[in-house]
């Protein structure tokens, strides 16, 4: 705590020497994350729980990437996008979880200006990428179920790579724009962020300038992207459900429904927390934090579990890979 007070005090003195009325110049060099509220006395328990979640996220998503990479039967557009999702889940969780774990363990709550900027950028970059990728995956399922005979023609590898690259490129632009708008504001007063990571709205509250524009842009930008993607996903699945109902084959209906249900479940887990946070501004800070932790820590861990437990192809490929590793080890010995 002494270190945090020293950082806060030095930032304030730096501001006073240079003058508080500067324009477009950041003078705070460090921020202090106040962390998760009302956790006094249970920090160790939360640390263990969140560490387990984070390790499961890393192992589960790495497992999916490994299985898809080594089984050529899974070298299809659906699993190509699933690998992209696994990468994003690892990245999205890693943006906030390690620093949150360090804070719970009793390490310094201080985060540098550069670290705070990185969190804002990568949080919105990864979040927007997942949002767009879920939309692309819904389109992929739409083509596979509604146009099965033309699926490999429509969703050829060139199209898949363009869609994936476009998702990453568009998200990077959004991340750059939102981060630039946030940190061109002058910060010359308090540097204590009432949150467990750097995000636009908790950070701009500390700016010594009018923040109406950036708050409106941030809220509308995130809202428009999320709402548009969600509507496109709903339209895709309305057409998918219509096609499934009209199928004559019971086996085909079950297979199509199974893969679609897995995707719909992870979409619900992703958009649910976002909808609560952005449509219910009256939510208490504790509830907002709980919903945000679910989206940042729990959802990335659940995605590989959902796709593995509900997907016969992934389970078969995992068993095959496990047997191969076992035989290799026995042969080596």
DSSP codes, 218-249? HHHHHHHHHHHHHHHHHHHHHHHHHHHHH-S-
CA distances in angstroms from 70 to 63, 64, 136, 152, 325, listed in the order given: 11, 10, 24, 21, 12
Per-residue confidence in pLDDT tens, the chain, 333 aa: 444 444 444 444 344 444 444 444 557 788 999 888 888 889 999 999 999 999 999 999 998 898 888 888 888 898 999 999 999 999 999 999 999 999 999 878 899 989 999 999 999 999 999 999 999 999 999 998 889 889 999 999 999 999 999 999 999 999 999 999 899 888 887 889 988 999 988 898 888 888 888 888 877 887 888 889 999 999 999 998 888 888 777 676 777 777 778 788 888 888 887 777 766 656 667 788 888 888 899 999 988 888 776 677 777 777 777 776 665 655 655
* Euclidean distance between CA atoms 11 and 120, whole angstroms: 20
pLDDT of residue 286: 77
Residue 153 confidence (pLDDT) = 93
The length of the chain is: 333
Predicted model pTM: 0.85
Q: Which two tokens stand for residue 92?
A: 């999205």
Tokens of 202: 């908790």
- C-alpha span between 321 and 67 (Å, rounded): 7
Strand duo 110-112 + 30-33: pairing: antiparallel
Q: Angle at which helices 113-146 and 250-279 pack, to 10 degrees?
A: 150
CA atoms within 13 A on the CB side of 111: 29
| Cα Dmax for the chain | 77
pLDDT for the residue 8: 43
The CATH architecture annotation of domain 2-332 reads Up-down Bundle (1.20)
Chain centre distance of CA 72: 28
> Quick one: CA dihedral 273, 275, 119, 205, positive or negative?
negative
Domain boundaries, the chain: 2-332
């Amino acid at each position: 705590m002494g270190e945090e007070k020293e950082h806060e005090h030095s930032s304030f003195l730096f501001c006073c020497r240079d003058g508080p009325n500067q324009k477009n110049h950041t003078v705070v060099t460090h921020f202090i994350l106040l962390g998760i509220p009302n956790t006094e006395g249970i920090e160790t328990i939360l640390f263990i729980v969140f560490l387990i979640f984070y390790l499961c996220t890393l192992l589960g998503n790495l497992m999916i990437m490994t299985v898809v990479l080594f089984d050529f039967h899974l070298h299809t557009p659906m699993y190509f996008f699933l690998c992209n999702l696994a990468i994003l889940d690892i990245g999205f969780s890693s943006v906030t979880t390690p620093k949150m774990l360090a804070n719970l363990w009793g390490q310094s709550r201080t985060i540098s200006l550069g670290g705070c900027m990185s969190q804002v950028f990568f949080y919105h970059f990864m979040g927007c990428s997942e949002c767009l990728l879920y939309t692309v995956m819904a389109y992929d399922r739409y083509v596979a179920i509604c146009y099965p005979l033309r699926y490999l023609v429509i969703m050829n590898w060139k199209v898949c790579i363009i869609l994936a690259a476009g998702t990453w490129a568009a998200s990077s632009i959004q991340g750059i724009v939102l981060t630039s708008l946030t940190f061109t504001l002058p910060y010359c007063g308090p540097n204590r962020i009432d949150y467990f990571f750097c995000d636009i709205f908790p950070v701009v509250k500390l700016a010594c300038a009018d923040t109406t524009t950036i708050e409106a842009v941030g809220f509308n930008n995130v809202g428009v992207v999320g709402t548009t993607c969600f509507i496109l996903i709903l339209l895709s699945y309305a057409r998918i459900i219509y096609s499934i109902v009209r199928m004559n084959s019971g086996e085909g209906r079950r297979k199509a429904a199974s893969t679609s249900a897995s995707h719909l479940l992870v979409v619900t887990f992703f958009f649910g927390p976002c909808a609560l946070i952005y449509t219910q501004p009256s939510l208490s800070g504790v509830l907002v934090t709980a919903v945000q932790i679910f989206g940042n820590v729990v959802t990335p861990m659940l995605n590989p579990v959902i796709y593995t437990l509900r997907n016969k192809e992934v389970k078969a490929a995992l068993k095959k890979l496990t047997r191969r590793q076992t035989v290799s080890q026995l042969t080596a010995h």
